[in-house]
């Protein structure tokens, strides 16, 4: 090895050591300013309320507040893209619904973000029981009513979802395939506008997370037609599931999780993971999330969450293809 080569090698080693030391120091000091959590759905939605419950805990955990910023639209694409382009320093995170990480990549021909390449998974945060709701004035009081009306007048049954390719859209697709019916899909920009139109009578039913509609169901303003797990939801024990009604392939559960931009230092990702796991185990956070109809859960590690995302993507790709949605947008 020549003297020049030796010096170059030593310089490279020194640079790597300096970078590693700087990253470790940065992680030790993290966070030293507020953390922004982008929610790619409208304010007031179940996802939004869950994110706010966790953001509130950031101040208690680290002495720095979590600030929720809503960027709804285009089935979460607008918000996801913003985080994908953000600085990978741990100060901009996304509270991502399931479809933004699974189905979007198969539905959109030119997606502005890559759900694997552009993000660093931190942890799953909730499991969202899914349901179907109606306006009681519509005369639809059960899932059986939906199926019968769709078979009698296919063009007269419109259903709302949170957007094309959203898990709530796929609920309608799965039920249509399982029951051999046709319904008209009406996509919205999130839960709030979809539920508003059901309440207003513009559409008779919507597929939704139970998070965000619990109080409306309990007050009688909405009728909960079904929950879409294999077993009845413990919060709604009198509400049947598609599984017990004979539509076994219509079973589906939603979820959400927290991610950072790709390239965020592993030490910071680990610190965020540890803090969020701790927060999700706190009784007041679990109660706040349960109040919205969801269950607080966490991933064992960021790597475990990454594997979960991959498995969910693999599960829904054939459903999207069967429904003719692949590359449709």
pLDDT of residue 202: 96
The answer for residues whose C-beta is within 8 angstroms of residue 256's C-beta and 6 or more apart is 47, 50, 95, 96, 97, 98, 124, 125, 126, 128
Residue 152's φ and ψ, nearest 5 degrees, are -80, -40
Mean pLDDT, rounded, of the chain: 90
CA atoms within 13 A on the CB side of 236: 31
Contacts with 103 (C-beta within 8 Å, 6 or more apart), sequence order: 165, 166, 167, 170, 313, 316, 320, 325
The CATH number of the structural domain formed by 130-250 is: 3.40.190.10
Distance CA(130)–CA(295), nearest Å, equals 12
CB 27, CB 271: distance < 8 Å:
yes
Interacting residues of 180 by C-beta distance below 8 A, sequence separation 6+: none
Q: If phi over 0 gives left and psi between -120 and 50 gives alpha, with beta otherwise, what is residue 132?
A: beta
Report whether pLDDT(193) > 60: yes
Tens of pLDDT, residues 241-283: 999 999 998 988 889 999 999 999 999 999 999 999 999 999 9
Identical fold for domains 33-128+253-322 and 130-250, yes or no, is yes
For residue 136, pLDDT over 70 is answered with yes
Q: How far apart (Å, rounded) are the C-alpha atoms in residues 105 and 66?
A: 29
Mean pLDDT across the stretch 229-240? 90
Each domain of the chain, given as residue ranges in start order, spans: 33-128+253-322, 130-250
Residue 164 has pLDDT above 90, yes or no: no
The mean per-residue pLDDT over the stretch 197-222 comes to: 93
Class of domain 33-128+253-322 (CATH, top level): alpha beta
φ/ψ of residue 140, rounded to 5:
-90, 115
Residue 127: strand pairing partners: 255, 295
Does residue 16 have a pLDDT over 70? Answer: no
Given a cut of 60, whether residue 123 has pLDDT beyond it is yes
């Amino acid at each position: 090895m020549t003297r020049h080569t030796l010096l170059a090698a030593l310089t490279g080693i020194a640079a790597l050591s300096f970078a590693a030391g700087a990253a470790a120091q940065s992680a030790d000091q993290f966070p030293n300013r507020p953390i922004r959590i982008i929610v790619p759905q409208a304010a007031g939605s179940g996802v939004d309320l869950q994110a706010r419950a966790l953001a509130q805990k950031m101040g208690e955990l680290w002495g720095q507040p979590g600030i929720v910023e809503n960027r709804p639209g285009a089935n979460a694409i607008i918000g996801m893209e913003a985080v994908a382009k953000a600085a990978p320093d741990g100060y901009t995170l996304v509270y991502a619904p399931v479809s933004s990480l699974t189905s979007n990549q198969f539905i959109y021909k030119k997606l502005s973000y890559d759900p694997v390449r552009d993000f660093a998974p931190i942890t799953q945060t909730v499991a969202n029981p899914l349901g179907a709701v109606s306006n009681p004035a519509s005369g639809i009081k059960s899932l059986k009513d939906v199926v019968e009306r769709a078979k009698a007048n296919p063009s007269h049954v419109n259903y709302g979802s949170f957007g094309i390719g959203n898990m709530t859209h796929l609920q309608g697709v799965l039920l249509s395939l399982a029951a051999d019916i046709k319904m008209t899909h009406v996509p919205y920009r999130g839960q709030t506008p979809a539920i508003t139109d059901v309440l207003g009578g513009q559409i008779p039913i919507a597929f939704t997370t139970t998070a965000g509609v619990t109080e409306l169901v309990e007050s009688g303003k909405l009728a909960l037609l079904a929950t879409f797990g294999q077993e009845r939801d413990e919060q709604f024990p009198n509400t049947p599931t598609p599984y017990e009604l004979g539509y076994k392939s219509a079973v589906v559960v939603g979820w959400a999780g927290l991610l950072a931009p790709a390239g965020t230092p592993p030490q910071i990702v680990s610190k965020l993971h540890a803090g969020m796991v701790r927060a999700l185990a706190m009784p007041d956070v679990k109660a706040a999330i349960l109040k919205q109809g969801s269950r607080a859960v966490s991933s064992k590690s960021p790597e475990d969450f990454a594997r979960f995302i991959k498995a969910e993507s693999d599960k829904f790709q054939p459903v999207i293809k069967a429904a003719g949605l692949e590359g449709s947008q």
